[in-house]
Amino acid sequence: MGKYIEVELGVKLYVEDLGQGEPVVFLHGWPASSRMFEYQSMLLPQKGLRFIGIDFRGFGKSDGPWENYSYDRMADDVRAVVDKLGLERFTLVGFSMGGAIAVRYMNLHNEHGVSRLILAGAAAPRFTRAEDFPYGAPVKGVDTMINDTHKDRPAMIEAFGKQFVGKQPSKPFAQWLSTICLESTAHATVRAMESLRDEDLRGDLPAITVPVTVLHGVQDKICPLELAEKTLELVPQAELIRFEESGHAMLFDEPDKFNETLLALLQ
């Protein structure tokens, strides 16, 4: 069932909370919402697990304040939801931007309540290239996406969606994914992308002590496989599971493998 949880004065996040058993908290990618995990929201409760999907501020059904879309603020929002739900031992699953925020949560909140971390196509250690980090997306490319959002957000999302999956999606699927992304506010879309462009997690990753599994598509054009490899250098205990036939969204490109892997990790 869906519920709203206040994370700061006047700002409520939408949270989908289904099933009973061990909690599994899902953090979505940019610029989608927890609806991108709808297949997992049906599967996990059938397997005796509790699915919890959080819509970040400004995305999905959550409130969209004008400011505060930093990794710190969104990690604080996750902590507020965790505390409100009384979660003590849960698996945290972060996809793309959600993976970046999961990493910041682990450091900023001392891994509060997390027993296992799963990073899927995560935008870590950082999303964009820097002088000392020649991996990831070029900053100019991100700036172009931000400018395109100001000019024609639906067209930007359609173009982004074509990179999102490695296999050619059906037209209904592409429309479904675009609809989810268009539910986000325009300003959150821009401000969260600015955070993706500017923030760095190289100082956060070494602080992680819980078991970590990194899931990554070999053909990922948004967060290239090199990012996963660099994450493993900073988190020595992490395990990498490669999705050979997947682009960025392995949960759509190889759904059976993704779900089987997820369930195996949760046993």
Q: How far is CA 120 from CA 5, 46, 100, 177, 183, in A?
A: 25, 22, 10, 18, 22
Q: How far is CA 237 from CA 25, 62, 217, 232, in A?
A: 21, 35, 20, 8
In angstroms, how far is the first alpha carbon of the chain from the final one?
24
* Active-site annotation holds for 62: no
Q: Which of 77, 220, 246, 253 is catalytic?
A: 220
Q: CA 23 from chain center: how many Å?
A: 17
Alpha carbon distance 225, 78 (integer Å):
26
Q: Report which DSSP code applies to 254.
A: S
Q: How far is CA 256 from CA 162, 202, 252, in A?
A: 21, 32, 9
* Active-site annotation holds for 220: yes
Q: Which of 28, 55, 248, 253 is catalytic?
A: 248
* Active-site annotation holds for 248: yes
Q: Which of 33, 41, 96, 195 is catalytic?
A: 96
- Strand locations in 96-134 (E): 114-120
Q: 7 burial class (0-12, 13-18, 19+ CB within 10 angstroms)?
A: buried
Please identify every residue annotated as catalytic: 96, 220, 248
